[in-house]
């Protein structure tokens, strides 16, 4: 089940309390400037949440959202997506269909910046983030390491089993996933000056450094979906121009 709450027209804003931004518990950036995770935000966290300029919140608990939080979302024009999941240790408590639907909302760039939260930002939030990491082709060991980092000593074997068995390929070729991957690669190119992938720095020898500084021919791939679409529209425009030019020649010939 998904509940969507859209922001109202009221332009009021919640003020800063005590001059200090207080983040929700277990807060962290999953992806800088677009995807965040945390525990349940309290009113004291509203100024910090407001500073993130969120477009949407993904709420993973079955309990109704507090009216005070709803009002804050209305004032700041933030959408609420609710996917009710029970916070028990039973493996069946995490419905795959709900996780998949939440993942589709999460990777939809129209909803960014987005905050994911449950009660404590550990188990349900950790499972959704772990499924996102599998979609991003992370190794399972890295996925589980991140999950355990936020879950702490209370990590659950049922969650580990769920992450191990979840198949992210069911949405890998969905429209949201294709746009998300293109948007992410484009953003990385802007941030890192054309590098397609970012690797950890390593110690290199003088020979490697000298050879790396030599100019190399840049390789470009024209087989991506945006390039094919651009080529298609360019060809249509060229044909239209030729048709107009031919009509002008026929008219002048008369």
**pLDDT tens readout for residues 156-201:** 888 899 999 998 888 877 777 777 776 664 554 444 344 333 333 3
Q: What's the confidence (pLDDT) of residue 93?
A: 63
Q: Let me know if 127 is a catalytic residue.
A: no
* Cβ count within 10 A of residue 241: 10
Q: Which residue has the higher pLDDT, 4 or 92?
A: 92
Per residue in 47-64, is it b (16+ CB within 10 Å) or e — as a string? bbbbebebbbbbbbbeee
Q: Cα separation of 130 and 124, whole Å?
A: 10
Q: Which residue has the higher pLDDT, 106 or 175?
A: 106
34, 118, 127, 131: the active-site residue: 118
Q: Cα separation of 83 and 116, whole Å?
A: 11
Cα angle value 248/253/254 (rounded, 5°):
105
pTM of the complete model: 0.65
State the average pLDDT for the chain: 75
Q: What is the mean pLDDT of residues 78-99?
A: 80
């Amino acid at each position: 089940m998904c509940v969507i709450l859209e922001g109202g027209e009221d332009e009021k804003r919640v003020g800063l309390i005590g001059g200090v931004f207080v983040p929700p518990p277990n807060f962290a950036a999953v992806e800088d400037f677009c995807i965040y995770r945390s525990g349940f935000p309290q009113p004291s966290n509203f100024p910090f949440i407001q500073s993130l300029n969120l477009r949407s919140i993904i709420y993973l608990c079955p309990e109704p959202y507090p009216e005070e939080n709803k009002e804050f979302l209305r004032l700041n024009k933030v959408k609420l997506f609710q996917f009710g999941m029970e916070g028990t240790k039973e493996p069946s408590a995490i419905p795959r269909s709900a996780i998949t639907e939440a993942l589709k909302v999460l990777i939809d760039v129209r909803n960014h910046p987005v905050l994911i939260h449950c009660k404590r930002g550990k188990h349900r939030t950790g499972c959704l983030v772990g499924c996102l990491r599998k979609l991003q082709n992370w190794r399972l060991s890295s996925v589980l390491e991140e999950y355990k980092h936020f879950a702490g000593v209370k990590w659950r074997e049922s969650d580990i089993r769920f992450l191990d068995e979840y198949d992210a390929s069911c949405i890998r070729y969905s429209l949201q996933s294709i746009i998300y991957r293109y948007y992410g690669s484009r953003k990385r190119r802007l941030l890192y000056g054309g590098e397609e992938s970012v690797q950890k720095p390593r110690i290199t020898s003088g020979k490697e450094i000298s050879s790396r500084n030599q100019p190399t021919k840049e390789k470009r791939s024209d087989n991506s979906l945006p390039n094919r679409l651009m080529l298609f529209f360019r060809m249509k425009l060229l044909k239209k121009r030729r048709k107009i030019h031919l009509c002008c020649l026929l008219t002048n010939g008369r």
